[in-house]
Each structure stands twice: as structure tokens, then as C-alpha cells.
Structure 1
Amino acid sequence: MEETSRGKDRISELPNDIKQHIMSSLCMRDAVATSYLSPVWRYTWVTLPSFSFGFSFFEHFCNYFDNLPPNHPKKLQPFYNSNNNNHDSDETIKHLMYVQLLHQLLQIYIKKRQPLDVLDNLTLFVPNMTVYACDVVSQWFSVAKHNVNKFNFSTPEGGVRNRFNGILESKTITKLWLQGCSLISETEVYYINLPCLKQLNFICLHYLDQKILDILLCKCGGTLEKLQLLGGEGVRVLRLSGLSKLKDLEVMHIHDLNRVEIDTTALEYLTLIKLKMNKCKLRVTSNYSCNNLVELFINGCAISDDFFNNVAEFPRLKAVTLLDCPKLKCIKITSRCLTRLDIEDCPNLSQIELNASKMDFFRYYTTLNHNIITLLSKCQFVRTSLILQRPRGALFNPILWYSKLVAFLANFSQSTHLDIETNSKKVVIIPQELRERFCPPLSGVQNLTFILATSSMVHDVLNYADALLWFSPHPKTISFCEEDLEPALSLELQYEDRMTELESCVCCRAHPTSCWRRVLKDFKIVYHRGLANCDSIRKLLEHELKKRKATATAGELYYLTTLNT
């Protein structure tokens, strides 16, 4: 009866496998809080395979601290190595309490964990690197050095010199993330050795010593598969030699980096973004170094034509993105797997020779001061996105520019979907006298989308429709969008299967492709928004449709009269 009134401690009687299952579904804060359930659960969290004392854990602690009453003893107690405690701010006390909590958790872990147990993942965040915090972090590093597979440490401050170098001699770490700290060596760095390292991520380091990086890449060259350097200073040359298993390289915003040297045949994913104000050079030491590339992303790097022209073929290359590459002039890309090519703001690029049988998407963006490139293509584009701006200046030759534009657009005549975006109507509205010189370049396009990125197209929508129907005489759909990329007006067009010999149209009499006016059968206009009051397109299509039907009827009567005669 007494047992019934008090109730059984059923939670303490749960089997170990059920307790582990419950713990695995909890966040780190709740897992540690289970210590208050009963004596049996007090140190259950120590058996977890992963510890996550990251930023979210710190946020939970801050919420707990902020909700304490102002005169709570924990807000008034003295702290280790804290000078003038009575005048410390709440923020300083909060950070000191958090570091103290990390130290207490570490001591519990060291006492209760089995010596041979290895953590799969350890995540540690420290808000400020005081002397006390550095001591606690060093102790956690000692644990990570021998008992952790994946280690992630981050701090918003650079920390004390040489404080973090010890983690670079771990025998168990396979994946390492260091964020916000500094790796500075004032002595020899012979101790660096990570024999099991497969992934290395340095993120926003305040300083990364060149010597440390060189030796680190040399010592783990046989196992490293992914290298990520995001932000920071100190590194001037990135040498990738002897890394036989390196597949993924990402380098971004390294302000001092002058040169990237690649000499590895296993590289599959290469990303270089904004390196030293577009002055960082990319050098491939062997023609076979990039043969296995699958994705290439270059933004703001001094990559030259030799990177492409010295390689006969990229047999596995699927996607290429080139943004803000001022040294590119004339490149050649051959790949039987290439499906996507994205080129933007390459001011000196004048010619692309492209041989890719599986090309699916092509995007090209030219600014005001850039000319239209010459595209020598041996592929059929499925989806194409073009962002075009006509150059300005006294030396601008409209006939030459429009001739290049028409020749460039002719490469996409068989695209299923084509998007043309511009901020000037002069790009697409070709003067009537120039239309007679050229043939419509987009005769095979089925779905055409026009995007005007500046002012509204309400007043010129009829001129835009007429110009687009000259570019593409037989599209199934034409969509008009404004700068928010939402469709404002759509045309759905149907055409006759064939036309009679007597039908003619002045605008296309000399062209091999029949004008839309000669074969229009029916149309449908869908007003999405914005252009609902623009009936000029409807009137134009209705007028041309009636005119074509009248011409067809007259032609049939003339044909029957000729037969009877």
C-alpha cells in the first residue's frame, strides 16, 4: 500500500537500450538535465556517442541565465580568475558561468567515461577566450586528441597564440572544423600529424600560419578527401600536391592568397570564390590534374584560358560556373557529360568553343560594357537563360552589335525553354530596316519568356510582342515578366500545319522561315496581373488572324477558278 501511494520509480527500472534510445532523441541540454531524474540517470548522458556543446547549447544556457532573478546567488558568486567580481557585467558573468559549466561537464566525463570509449562527434562553442576559458578549452582538446572522431570548435575571438595547435596531432580525428580561432606558430611545427584526417574545415580563422597549413597538407596527404578554407588571413600560397584522395576543394575570401597550385588527379569538386580582389592565380601543374572534375565554380579569380585549353577533354565534367573572371578571353570546353554552363561578368571573354552532347542548361550574362561573345557550339540546348544589356558609348555600332546578337541567339534555335532578361528595350526591339538583313534566329524555340528588369512594360508591350515574334516566329507560349520575375501576361499560340503557296508576307518574304502572321490559327491570352488593361496585343492578333483567314479564302476561290478554267 505504501509503495502504491508513493509510486514506483519506473523510469529508473528501464533497460539500458531503452534509456539510450530516449537519450538519443534529446538535445544536449535536455540530455544533461536527465541527471536530475534519479541517481540511476545522473550520469547517463556521459554514455552518449556524441556531445554537442555548440552555439545552440550556449543559447539555451543564456536563456536560463537571463530568466534568473537579479539577486540569485548564481549571478553573484565569485568566479575563477575574475578580477573585481563585484563590478562584472551580467554578460561577463554569464560567459564565465557557461565556461564553468563546460569545465564541470568535462570533469564528469573524464571520471565516468570508459577509457577506451571514443566519441563519434564533439562540438564545442566558447563565446570569449579569457585565460580561464583557454584552460578549459585546452582540457577539452586533450580529450578530442585521443577520444574523438569528429571535432568542431568555434569561437568569435581569435584566442591566445599556440593555444589551439595541440589539436593538430590527434590520432583519431577524421573530420575537423575550426572556426574563429588563430593557428599561429612561433616555434617548430614538427608535432603536426593527423594520420586519419579525411575532412579539414578552417572557417573564418583570424590567422592561419602558412607553415602550419603546408605541413598539415603534407602529413595528411594520403587520407584527406575534402578541404575547406573559408575566410581568414595568413595563407599566401595553397599547394595541393601529393593529395591522392582529395576530391573536394573549396576556398573562399582568403584575403592574402596569391596563388593556388593544383597537382592532384582525384579532384572532383573545385570552388574558388573572391580571392584577393580577383588577383589570385590558378595554376594546374599537369594536364591530368583536373581530368576527374565533376563541378567547377570560379568567382572572382584570375583563371586563364590555359586552364581549359590545355586539357583536351573533361570526361566527367557536369557543371561549370564562371563569374567575374577578367582574364578569360577564348576558352574551349569539351565534355560528354556537361549539362550546365553559367557565365557572368567576364568582361574580356570573346569566344567559347563548346562541345557537349548532353547540354541541358546555359546561362549567359553580359553587362553594359561587354560585347556579345562568339559561341561555337556543337550541342543542343534544352533550357537557356540570357541576361543581355546593350553597350553604350560613342563607338557603339548598332549594325555590328545586332549582327553578333542574332548570330549568338541562333545557337539556341532548338531550345525548348528560352529566357531573355534585359533592362533596355533596345536589346530586343530591332529596327525594322535591320530585320530585313537578318533571319529570325530562334525559329525552333517553343517556350519564350521575356523579363524586363527595370521599368514597367505596359506602354511598350505591343512592341515587345512584335519583336519577340520576329526572333521566334512559331513559339507555343510567350510569357512577359517584370523585375520580380512573376508572369504578368502569357500568350498561347496555335499554328496551321501548312500554308498555301499564295500566302505571302512582306516582312518575311526572303526568309526561309514563315512569319507567324502567315500560319496563325488561334491564340489565347492569359492576364496574370499588371497588364490587364493592355488590349493592344489582342487587337493585333485578332487583326492578323482575320487577315490571314480572308487571304486563305481568297486563295482557295482563285485556285478553284483556275481548275475549272
Structure 2
Amino acid sequence: MDRISELPEPILQQILSLLPMKQGLQTSVLSKRWRHVWTNFPVLEFDRTFFDAKISNRSDTRESIPERQRKIDELFNFVEQTLLIHRNLKGIRRFTLEISFHDPELASLFDRWIGYLLESNVYELKLGILVLRNGEWYNLPGAVLAAKSVTMLTLSYCKLRLPYSDIKLLSLKKLSLVDVYIEDEIFQNLVARCPMIEDMNLSGCCGLKSFEVFGLLKLKSVEVKNNRELEKVEMQALNLQSFEYSGRYKPCEINLVPCKSLKTLKLCMAAITDEWFHDHFSEFPLLENLALSDCRMLESIRISSHHLKRLLLCRCDFLVEVEIDAPSLCSFKYNGDTIPFSLNSPALLQSDIHFCLSVIDTAWYVQMIEFLSKFNHSEVLTLQSITGKNMVVPNELRESLLPPLYNVKHLKLKIHKPLMSCATEELVDSLLWISPHPETLFIESGFGTKTFKFIYKKLTERGEDSCGCRSVPIICWRHCLQEIEVENVSEAEERNKLTKFFWENAKILERIDGLDSEL
């Protein structure tokens, strides 16, 4: 007995929503009930996966050209008939069409399909129509930009060209243009006639030189990424909360000063100077998230904010000095060299440090240890390294310098090229000098994550000071480590070396779980 077909229609439609388009279509042949549910299903997604499964058929190279053309014709006819049915019922809420084509005559077919969609009062429209002929674009029908019902519009690979005489997307809340050709005049007309827009994304677009937005009071989020001809960004959006920009190391004038409500600012490959940063940052009193990546004109910056919570500084290669005064900062990521660094962030919980290697010598290690000491109050600290070898501090420096992270509770080392890494016991030895009293230590590589959990015995006296740690504010692990639990160390030789290391160095060690219990 088919009890599933007896379920209420909203539940059956929910089942369809969880299936790929191809499988959803197949349910229509199960029974009249399923055919009715499919006909009234408000979501149609004809993406590349759908068309490739029907058209490409690369597994059967013996298929004749007429047979393949017959399949294409049947497929296009099915799409058209489906759209006609839904148009009559005005039942499409979300529609996706993603397809590539060579034959220019197909453009009129897609124009007709889009016309059916607009007659059905579609809410969410996603069109990615790629012409596989050099230098040609699919010209978007002007009616799309006058669709009063559309609340979400995503366009890819098409051309928006003049004249569009009646642009009026009165219900539009989210606009995404990806790899689209659009010139300044039509863009200005478009954004000026979308009074309800809240979210805007332009990525990889051609033709656009000036991105100017004025007076959109509901606009909350903007992303402008990799638009190759862009020369100017002018934002006057009083309620804008998030702005992301990614350039191409090309000069681009950016003005965000009027955006007083900004909470998230992310700039990548932006040609901004110290002066630009100073003038803008002071205008964002509510900023909580700041990310600066590959901004190669920055040299010396000062970040002072009581609201800033998350900060990323990544590959800003010409930075020589950073000063951070952010009492509410809880997360910090840094990828760069060991530069003079000032940090006042008592609430910092998580830090992630990846040093870009230059010359690794004694002076570099001294600078690294000084740099890391700024993060001594961070609860969780992650170090990233290509091989891990630069994290093995020379013994002569350990004898003359203080460990930088004696208050860090959880230390992690991420190794990007584990095949070039040094021995695990060497890394553990150095990391336990860098952070001499952690609760957990993680060494992550392509072979998994080795985990070390430590239990300490409370001591008031160090006893014999053979490790030279009298000047450290806390008793180091050698004097008070009582139990160790180790996970994900599987190779016998590695296990033996770690076992020997801990038994020889921990003065009062009683138990090791996960390694050999004795030498």
C-alpha cells in the first residue's frame, strides 16, 4: 500500500524540495497524486547538472547526432511545457536556469521561457545563460528589470544593455550580478529604482567603472569583488552594516565615510594607504569585524576601537608597525612577518598566527618570541607553519629568553607540509617551552591531529631547577606534570620516542595513556 501518497500536499512538496530536480521530476510518473504535486510544486531548478545529465551523455560515444538532437528537443520541450503549466497556475516561487549554448537561435527560446516566468509572478529568479561563442553575451530581456514580484535576482554571464526604459524592481531585496556585462549608466538606473534592496553583490563584472550607491535606506550588505574595470566606489548608505571589497591591486577610489553604521569591513587587494585607513576607521564607531588582506600599500596602522571583536591582518607585506587598542577583541588572525607589534586586548580568546618566513636566524627567533609574548593572555592560540621547523626554538635561546606564552591554556600547531616536518618529539619539546603549562597541545598535519592532554600537580616549590625556569612566573611542565593522555599517535617509532621524551623530562610523571606505559 502506498501510504506516502496519502500524506498532505505540503509534506509531499517538502519531500520534493529535498530531491534533485531529476529525481523530483521522476516522481510525476508514480501516480496521479504525485503528478498533481509536481505540477503545483513552486520550485523549479534547471541547472547545469540537470541539462548535462540529459544532453551530454559522454558515456555513450556511439550515440548518433540525430539521436542526441532528439533528446535535446525533448528536454527543451519538457522545460517549456512545465513552464506553461506553472505560468497558468501562477505557481513558480523560485526558478533557476543555468545553461551553456552555441546556437544563437536558442536565445529567443530562453527569452520566451523568461517571459513565462515573469507572468507567473516568480519571487526568486536565478539566470546563468552562457554563450559559448567568443565575445558574445546573452542579452537579458528588459522585462526582467521591471518584474514587480521578484525579491531575489541572481544573474550570470549575461549582458545588461541600454536601452532599458522601465527599470522598476520595487520588491527586490537581494541582487547578485556575477560575470555580467553592465555599464555605469544602467547600473545607476538599476540601484536607484530598487528602493527595498537590502543585499547587493557584484563579482567579476565587465563594463562597470563606477560603483555609486546613494540613499538606499534599507541596504545592509554589499560585496564588490574582482570587477576588472572598476575605478571608483562611492557608498552613501546610512544603514549599511557590511561591506566587502576585493580588487586586483589596481588603484580604485573608495569612499565609505558616510556609512556610520558599518559593523563589518573586509578589504582584499585594495590600494589603500595609511592615511585612507586612519580617515575611514575613525568614522566607524560601531565596527565589530575588520579584515585586511593583501593591502600592500599599508605600512603603519593604528587600530583603536571599543567595539571591535574580530580582526584579520593577512599578507599586508609592507606593514612595518601595528598598534591595536581593542578592549573587546576576542578573535585575532595574523599572517605576516615578525614586526613591531602593540596589543591591548584583555578579552582576547582566540589567536591564529602564521609567520611568513624570511631569513630564519637568531634575530628572527628573538623577534618571533617577542611577537608571541603579546598574546600570552589568549586562551586558545594557533600557530601555523609550512613545515613546523621554524617553531623549534634553538636551545641556546631557551636558556636566555622567557617563554612567551606561559598563560596560554590550549596551543595548536598547524603544519602545511607534513612530509618536510621535523620529529614530533622535537616539536613537542619546543612547543612546551613556548607554552610551558598548557592544558592541551595539538599538532595538526595532513596525517591527522596528534592530541596531548596534560594534568598537573599543584606545587609551591620547583625543587631542583635543572631546566633553568626559575624566572618564569609559573612552574613549568617538567616539575609538575603528573598525567598525560595522548591520541592519534600510531607509528611505533614515534610512540617510543615520545614515551622516552616524557619519562626522561617530567620529574613527577605517574601515568601516560595512549603511548607505551614504560620505556
TM-score w.r.t. structure 1 length? 0.74
**What displacement does 1:405 show?**
1.8
Q: 1:497 and 2:459 equivalent?
A: yes
Q: Which amino acid aligns with 2:377?
A: Q
Q: 1:278 and 2:249 equivalent?
A: yes
Given that 1:525 and 1:538 are in contact with CA atoms closer than 8 Å, whether structure 2 keeps it comes out as no
**What displacement does 1:109 show?**
4.7
Partner of 1:387: 354
| Equivalent residue in structure 2 for 1:173, among 150, 159, 162 | 150
Q: Give the distance between the partners of 2:231 and 2:432, measured in 1 at CA.
A: 49
Partner of 1:242: 215
Q: Give the distance between the partners of 2:486 and 2:507, measured in 1 at CA.
A: 20
Provide the secondary structure at the position in 2 that maps to 1:249: strand
**What displacement does 1:374 show?**
1.3
Partner of 1:440: 403
Q: Give the distance between the partners of 2:71 and 2:95, measured in 1 at CA.
A: 23
Provide the secondary structure at the position in 2 that maps to 1:156: strand
Q: Give the distance between the partners of 1:216 and 1:140, measured in 2 at CA.
A: 23
Question: How many residues matched?
Answer: 497
Partner of 2:488: 528
Q: 1:480 and 2:443 equivalent?
A: yes
Given that 1:389 and 1:427 are in contact with CA atoms closer than 8 Å, whether structure 2 keeps it comes out as no
Change over 3 Å in CA distance of 1:308–1:65 after alignment to 2: closer
Which residues in structure 2 correspond to 1:328-339 (within 5 Å)?
A: 328-339=298-309
Q: 1:122 and 2:95 equivalent?
A: yes
Change over 3 Å in CA distance of 1:173–1:469 after alignment to 2: closer
Which stretch of structure 1 is more off in the superposition, 193-202 or 322-331?
322-331
Provide the secondary structure at the position in 1 that maps to 2:384: strand
Q: Give the distance between the partners of 2:424 and 2:99, measured in 1 at CA.
A: 59
Partner of 1:58: 51
Q: 1:325 and 2:325 equivalent?
A: no
| Equivalent residue in structure 1 for 2:270, among 289, 298, 301 | 301
Provide the secondary structure at the position in 1 that maps to 2:369: helix
Which residues in structure 2 correspond to 1:257-276 (within 5 Å)?
A: 257-273=230-246, 275=247
**What displacement does 1:132 show?**
4.3
Partner of 1:554: none
Q: Deviation per CA, 1:251-293, whole angstroms, max 9, x where unpaired? A: 33322223322222222222233x3x3225361242x415332
Q: Give the distance between the partners of 2:239 and 2:131, measured in 1 at CA.
A: 35
**What displacement does 1:99 show?**
2.8
Q: Deviation per CA, 1:440-499, whole angstroms, max 9, x where unpaired? A: 211111222334443558864444333323322222333334x31623463625243311
Change over 3 Å in CA distance of 1:327–1:441 after alignment to 2: same
Given that 2:156 and 2:178 are in contact with CA atoms closer than 8 Å, whether structure 1 keeps it comes out as yes
Higher Rg of the two aligned structures? 1
Q: Deviation per CA, 1:218-277, whole angstroms, max 9, x where unpaired? A: 222x2111111232322222222222221121233322223322222222222233x3x3
Provide the secondary structure at the position in 2 that maps to 1:228: strand
Provide the secondary structure at the position in 1 that maps to 2:353: strand
Given that 2:289 and 2:311 are in contact with CA atoms closer than 8 Å, whether structure 1 keeps it comes out as yes
Which residues in structure 2 correspond to 1:34-45 (within 5 Å)?
A: 34=28
Q: Give the distance between the partners of 2:160 and 2:151, measured in 1 at CA.
A: 19
Q: Give the distance between the partners of 1:459 and 1:238, measured in 2 at CA.
A: 50
Q: Percent identity?
A: 23
Provide the secondary structure at the position in 2 that maps to 1:172: coil
Change over 3 Å in CA distance of 1:63–1:321 after alignment to 2: same
Q: Deviation per CA, 1:173-194, whole angstroms, max 9, x where unpaired? A: 2211112222233xx4443222
Provide the secondary structure at the position in 2 that maps to 1:155: strand
Partner of 1:210: 184
Which residues in structure 2 correspond to 1:347-386 (within 5 Å)?
A: 347-366=317-336, 370-386=337-353
Provide the secondary structure at the position in 2 that maps to 1:492: strand
Q: Give the distance between the partners of 1:462 and 1:66, measured in 2 at CA.
A: 52
Q: 1:200 and 2:169 equivalent?
A: no
Change over 3 Å in CA distance of 1:291–1:331 after alignment to 2: farther
Q: 1:219 and 2:182 equivalent?
A: no
Which structure 1 residue ranges, 4+ long, deviate > 6 Å from structure 2?
40-44, 63-67
| Equivalent residue in structure 1 for 2:503, among 532, 542, 553 | 542
Q: Give the distance between the partners of 1:258 and 1:464, measured in 2 at CA.
A: 48
Q: Give the distance between the partners of 1:451 and 1:434, measured in 2 at CA.
A: 23
Q: Give the distance between the partners of 1:354 and 1:267, measured in 2 at CA.
A: 25
**What displacement does 1:97 show?**
3.5
The Cα RMSD (Å) is 4.0
Which residues in structure 2 correspond to 1:424-463 (within 5 Å)?
A: 427-454=390-417, 460-463=423-426
Change over 3 Å in CA distance of 1:531–1:347 after alignment to 2: farther
Q: Point out where structure 2 has 5 or more consecutive residues left out of the alignment.
A: 511-519
Partner of 2:371: 408
Provide the secondary structure at the position in 1 that maps to 2:109: helix
Given that 1:458 and 1:531 are in contact with CA atoms closer than 8 Å, whether structure 2 keeps it comes out as no
Q: Give the distance between the partners of 1:55 and 1:548, measured in 2 at CA.
A: 61
Partner of 2:516: none
Given that 2:140 and 2:158 are in contact with CA atoms closer than 8 Å, whether structure 1 keeps it comes out as no
Change over 3 Å in CA distance of 1:321–1:486 after alignment to 2: farther
TM-score w.r.t. structure 2 length? 0.80
Q: Give the distance between the partners of 2:254 and 2:53, measured in 1 at CA.
A: 47
| Equivalent residue in structure 1 for 2:428, among 446, 460, 465 | 465
Q: Which amino acid aligns with 2:433?
A: W
Provide the secondary structure at the position in 1 that maps to 2:391: coil
Change over 3 Å in CA distance of 1:415–1:327 after alignment to 2: same
Q: Which amino acid aligns with 1:372?
A: I
Given that 1:517 and 1:548 are in contact with CA atoms closer than 8 Å, whether structure 2 keeps it comes out as no
| Equivalent residue in structure 2 for 1:340, among 283, 300, 310 | 310
Q: Deviation per CA, 1:129-166, whole angstroms, max 9, x where unpaired? A: 64543223222333444522222222232766645333
Q: Point out where structure 1 has 5 or more consecutive residues left out of the alignment.
A: 1-9, 76-87, 550-565
Partner of 2:123: 149
Q: Give the distance between the partners of 2:422 and 2:113, measured in 1 at CA.
A: 68
Provide the secondary structure at the position in 2 that maps to 1:542: helix
